[in-house]
Chain A
């Protein structure tokens, strides 16, 4: 009795093995890409897959890797959780890829995995969201605070003819980056003596609050000629209000927004132009930086320079940061090229 069962177990084991082997074979054909370390293999790791913003940045990276003749790969978790990228980082290190280009889900959680990958010889470039400087070779910074502030002031100045009352619609009153930008904008406005900043209101990055604050701004300041909203939620809500109000076309609106949110308002003339960085340029630059690291052209120390294809020459700043440049300005002529 026992032996018969034993034999059955053995048969079952063989069947299980066979089924697993078949499953593994099936998977074999679909995707074996990593591993060839003789060429520059660069793995992009977005915060999560299926995010239009990262689709745009990674397509820029893919273009660069193809120009360089390397191997491009994109892996990542389905949802952005703090440690969701760790297993992908470990796998990339095992595959011996030349470089990981990652937008970190968490500044700390993937850190030790990235350090292990670096000690295994893989270069690490962060973009969009940085980790600490000790966990990567380079950080590709999308825009500096000075650049963000200056671009928005320049845009509004151009649209209102460099004179008149303007207001700022910000996010939360204690948002660090918002306040830093607002302070820098005030400094830049000193160069535009005829522009007067009459009010700063806070929409808390909430659509309805931002909408209501825009309405209040327009009734409180009948001579208002322009609004700057350096937050994607704020600018979209303000545009929605302006679109239906009598002020449409009379009050200029600009700020930081995404093409998908703003497309309609740019096309119907509510908004002339707004700014953000170009994510595909960001991915493109990150790929070139990774390639320069792999080839040993640069080590990531301050003062290193490298050429990034069409974008030109770049220089590594303090803490291994590379600045993409001034924000990208979106208007009617180019907005349809962007799908994020």
Chain B
């Protein structure tokens, strides 16, 4: 919306004329998170010992790569008003597939990885079929498949781990870009960011995603193929999760069924922190990227200060609650000003919220 409204050919809306484009770009939730990220990063650079060491950026990239990867398609899914909680289980399943195919079946890593992604596509298609075509609620479906895929992963490998991977590949997963401080995994992340930004913000498919999130019936009658869109999104999410699974396996040199346990909630938390509405219809990828980085930077800085995991979780949890509350609070305030009867928690599904 913002991108098109500055051009003369933009749709003429009252709001388009109310303020200049930079205000509408900068004074948003996304930029609030980006601002917070910059503030926290600068604060940590100045105040936290060793935060400015080259290793910090390197580990920041390595440790948050899988969350960043999965958060991209997850944002699209959540904008349609759905959710996919099976992502971390797909990561585990893909990790086990790579381990088994490489070590027991003797396949090469690229081939094992391709098959693992194919398994991910099947897992995503199953989710997507049940949600889009059968019409079941995605929360229930993916809670079920979360257990199902994790069960398969742990069942295939038991509690053991496959740990013998060629050094060429495990080194690659931890390599730097040239002599810079950035890990190599940043490159595929940048490619996927470009793809998903184009998909969500610059393609008709992306417009359909927002339409579905705001009102899927209206979207249907305005020509959006609701079922196909959701189906494709669930497949994309699982495929990217499977890729993340291959990355984790090679990075840690460990194929285990319990890899990435609990990561689905980390991904959802980062996406919501980035300004995506859990009710669908709202959210932008630059906010999501900032949300992932913000959580990563806070974790890294607090760990360097020798804080416990529990305290780190408390800070991130409070931040998340605040950020969600801020939206609800603003909506409530808007209603208060509009003279309507105010009640907190009015932010229901498909109500366009305050921006």
Point out residues on A near B: beta carbons under 8 Å.
1-10, 12-13, 16-17, 19-21, 23-24, 27-28, 30-35, 73, 75, 77-78, 82-83, 86-88, 90-91, 93-96, 106, 108-109, 111-113, 116, 120
Size category of the binding interface on chain B = 35 or more
8 Å CB contact of A94 from B28, B50, B329 = B50
Q: How far is the CA of A88 from the CA of B163 in the complex (A)?
A: 21
Name the 9 nearest CB pairs between A and B, nearest first: A6-B27, A13-B32, A35-B49, A108-B163, A12-B326, A91-B303, A31-B306, A94-B55, A5-B354
Q: Are A82 and B55 in contact (CB under 8 A)?
A: no
For A113, what are the chain B residues with a Cβ–Cβ distance below 8 Å? 252
Query: Does more than half of chain A's interface fall in helix, strand or loop, or is it mixed?
Result: helix
Work out how many contacts link A and B, with CB atoms closer than 8 A: 144
For A1, what are the chain B residues with a Cβ–Cβ distance below 8 Å? 18, 334
Q: A16-B322, A19-B322, A112-B170 are in contact. Are A27 and B28 (CB under 8 A)?
A: no
8 Å CB contact of A27 from B36, B63, B305, B329 = B305
Query: Does more than half of chain B's interface fall in helix, strand or loop, or is it mixed?
Result: helix
Residue of A nearest to B40 (CB): A20
Q: Are B304 and A91 in contact (CB under 8 A)?
A: yes
Point out residues on B near A: beta carbons under 8 Å.
15, 18-19, 23-24, 27-29, 32-33, 35-36, 39-40, 43-44, 47-50, 53, 55-56, 59, 63, 161, 163, 170, 174, 251-254, 256, 298, 300-311, 315, 318-319, 322-323, 326, 329-330, 333-334, 337, 354-355
Q: Are A33 and B63 in contact (CB under 8 A)?
A: no
Q: A12-B32, A82-B161, A86-B252 are in contact. Are A5 and B334 (CB under 8 A)?
A: yes
Q: Are B43 and A21 in contact (CB under 8 A)?
A: yes
Q: A6-B24, A9-B29 are in contact. List 20 more A-B contacts (CB 8 A).
A: A2-B19, A2-B355, A3-B23, A3-B27, A6-B23, A12-B32, A12-B326, A17-B36, A20-B315, A23-B315, A24-B40, A32-B305, A86-B252, A91-B303, A91-B304, A94-B55, A94-B56, A108-B253, A112-B174, A113-B252
11 sampled A-B residue pairs with Cβ under 8 A: A9-B326, A13-B35, A17-B36, A19-B322, A27-B302, A33-B306, A34-B304, A87-B63, A90-B59, A94-B59, A109-B252
Q: How far is the CA of A96 from the CA of B49 in the complex (A)?
A: 10
Q: How far is the CA of A5 from the CA of B333 in the complex (A)?
A: 9
For B315, what are the chain A residues with a Cβ–Cβ distance below 8 Å? 20, 23
- The minimal Cβ–Cβ distance linking A108 to chain B, given in whole angstroms, is 4
Residue of B nearest to A117 (CB): B55
Residue of A nearest to B331 (CB): A5
8 Å CB contact of A6 from B28, B161, B256, B298 = B28
Q: How far is the CA of A120 from the CA of B330 in the complex (A)?
A: 47
Q: Are B28 and A9 in contact (CB under 8 A)?
A: yes
For B39, what are the chain A residues with a Cβ–Cβ distance below 8 Å? 17, 20-21
Q: Are B304 and A112 in contact (CB under 8 A)?
A: no
Q: Are B319 and A20 in contact (CB under 8 A)?
A: yes
Q: Are B53 and A96 in contact (CB under 8 A)?
A: yes
Q: Are A28 and B305 in contact (CB under 8 A)?
A: yes
For A31, what are the chain B residues with a Cβ–Cβ distance below 8 Å? 305-307
For B355, what are the chain A residues with a Cβ–Cβ distance below 8 Å? 2, 5-6, 9
For A6, what are the chain B residues with a Cβ–Cβ distance below 8 Å? 19, 23-24, 27-28, 355
Residue of A nearest to B254 (CB): A109
For A116, what are the chain B residues with a Cβ–Cβ distance below 8 Å? 174
